[in-house]
Amino acid sequence: MKLTYLTSLISSFSLAQAIAVPQPKDLTSLQFPTTNKQDLLKRYYDYDHYEEPIRGVNIGGWLVLEPYITPSLFEEFRTNPANDDGIPVDEYHYWSYLGKDEAMTRLTSHWDNFYTEQDFIDIKNAGFNLVRIPIGYWAFDTLPNDPYVSGWQQLYLDKAINWCRANGLKVWVDLHGAAGSQNGFDNSGLRDSIDFLQDENLQLTMNVLEKVLDKYSQDEFLDTVIGIELINEPLGPSIDMDKYKNEYLIPAYTYLRETLGRDQNIIIHDAFEPFNYWDSFMTLEDGDHYGITLDHHHYQVFSSGELQRSWDERLGVTCSWGQGATSEYHWTVAGEFSAALTDCAKWLNGVGIGARYDGSFYKNGVSSYYIGSCQDNENVSTWSDERKQDTRKYIEAQFDAFEMRGGWIIWCYKTETSVEWGVNQLIANGLFPQPLTDRQYPGQCNA
């Protein structure tokens, strides 16, 4: 498993609509320029150089807002000190509340300052070799009634790709939000809605995806952009998976391989389906497949049961993630995970919802019970030695588990306040392996 390092220049990109491609009737009848598994791996890895897996970090909260990552952007809306009244719950409502002119003013400052080239230099110096950069559909096109201004985020994405090229980092471009939302999470841009597959939303998202595939699979990007994620975290249990596959995934793949004739790597999130669910999707009986990487996201803080696990239980689950991926047919990478052992970070579960860990969680009639205190959660000096030790052990165990296959991309590099979710703060507080191969607790998944 080795990364390829090449060089070239980025060119400009037209925002013209891409032509929609009809859905194929029979996938096996299509002629793809590259279907061999080894050819896929060679596009990721140069077998003559660089013996290391993907060790990456996500650039969260920058081009797609998440309230818990940059709470200062959202606090200005507060109307009641006792609750979250008035605070927009996602980026869609942030734009709606402010209007396009004021939102652009504030977000231009955010885009200019939350990430700069120095962050990418620091990421490289910390030993990472790849960044995954989320971007929303509204960066490329919008629905008639959307509140967004479109296009500007692309300029920052391209700037970041240039910074990565200059500093020896690879990039996954991740379409993080679909029109209508693919999961109802605030990280999709629109919370509490899952209308991605409604016809108008699906068509717009497909048009956007074709633009992304066209632009970032051109030769001038392929030295740095080594993967395009078709959509982040579609909520499989809540969407029509057959429609999703037949009217989104397959047409997108056909557009890239047949219409464009390009070799760019395609990333498909597992849609929260179990290991091996995707083994029969875009695979062939002769051992070849269609050049797809499967992305798994793993956390243990989004249910009370997970939060109260003992260390041994948490470790067992962690190691099972690595073992499960080794049995899958497609090449796999853990595209998100974190160091978090609690859900105490403000607004992690969403504006106005609270934390399960301290019993303040309440959503749609569902509440939680007290497990522990969230007081001073962002002050590492108040953490017990056991919590510091467990945080480091958890990070190392996840690294080891995910390196059983293609590697990992931790979420995320920085936040304004949350230590558990900010890699730069974990590094600064001595809780994160430096170098990345350093193990204070080796062999945790070998027992």
Structure tokens at 382: 């108040």
- Residue 127's contacts (CB-CB under 8 Å, 6 or more residues apart) are 55, 434, 435, 436, 437
DSSP label at residue 237: G
% of the chain surpassing 90 pLDDT: 84
pLDDT confidence of residue 48: 32
pLDDT category of residue 282 using cuts at 50, 70 and 90:
confident
- Mean pLDDT across the chain, nearest whole number? 89
Residue 371 has pLDDT above 60, yes or no: yes
CA angle (295, 3, 433) in 5-degree steps: 75
Contact (Cβ atoms closer than 8 angstroms) between residue 263 and residue 40: no
pLDDT category of residue 2 using cuts at 50, 70 and 90:
very low
pLDDT confidence of residue 447: 65
Residue 29 has pLDDT above 60, yes or no: no
CA–CA dist 259, 21 (Å, integer): 8
34-61 pLDDT per residue, tens: 334 455 445 444 433 336 899 999 999 9
Residue 325 has pLDDT above 80, yes or no: yes
Burial status of residue 226 (CB atoms within 10 A of its CB: 0-12, 13-18, 19 or more): buried
What are the structural domains, with CATH classification, of the chain? 48-74+106-342+380-428 (3.20.20.80)
Give mean pLDDT, residues 287-296: 76
Q: What is the pTM of this model?
A: 0.90
233 classed as catalytic? yes
C-alpha closest to that of 133 among 112, 161, 104: 161
% of the chain surpassing 70 pLDDT: 87
374-425 pLDDT per residue, tens: 999 999 999 999 999 999 999 999 999 999 999 999 999 999 999 999 999 9
Residue 248 has pLDDT above 70, yes or no: yes
pLDDT confidence of residue 41: 47
pLDDT category of residue 22 using cuts at 50, 70 and 90:
very low
pLDDT confidence of residue 338: 98
Treating both helix axes as pointing N-terminal to C-terminal, what angle do 385-402 and 311-326 enclose, rounded to 10 degrees?
10
Residue 232 has pLDDT above 50, yes or no: yes
CA–CA dist 292, 253 (Å, integer): 9
pLDDT confidence of residue 285: 53
More confident residue, 8 or 175: 175
pLDDT confidence of residue 284: 59
More confident residue, 2 or 213: 213
Strands 407-410 and 292-297: unpaired
CA–CA dist 10, 8 (Å, integer): 7
336 classed as catalytic? yes
CA–CA dist 403, 138 (Å, integer): 34
Where are any strands of DSSP class E within 137-261?
170-177, 225-229
CA–CA dist 8, 184 (Å, integer): 38
Least confident of 136-145, 254-263, 409-418: 254-263
| Catalytic member of 66, 210, 229, 336 | 336
Give mean pLDDT, residues 265-290: 83
pLDDT confidence of residue 290: 65
**Residue appearing with tokens 């160091």:** 339
Residue 62 has pLDDT above 60, yes or no: yes
Residue 97 has pLDDT above 60, yes or no: yes
Residue 18 has pLDDT above 90, yes or no: no
- Residue 29's contacts (CB-CB under 8 Å, 6 or more residues apart) are none
Give mean pLDDT, residues 336-360: 98
| Catalytic member of 91, 210, 229, 233 | 233
Give mean pLDDT, residues 239-244: 98
159-178 pLDDT per residue, tens: 999 999 999 999 999 999 99
Residue 1 has pLDDT above 90, yes or no: no
User: Between the CA of residue 412 and those of 199, 274, 283, 418, what are the distances in Å?
Assistant: 33, 24, 32, 11
CA–CA dist 136, 182 (Å, integer): 12
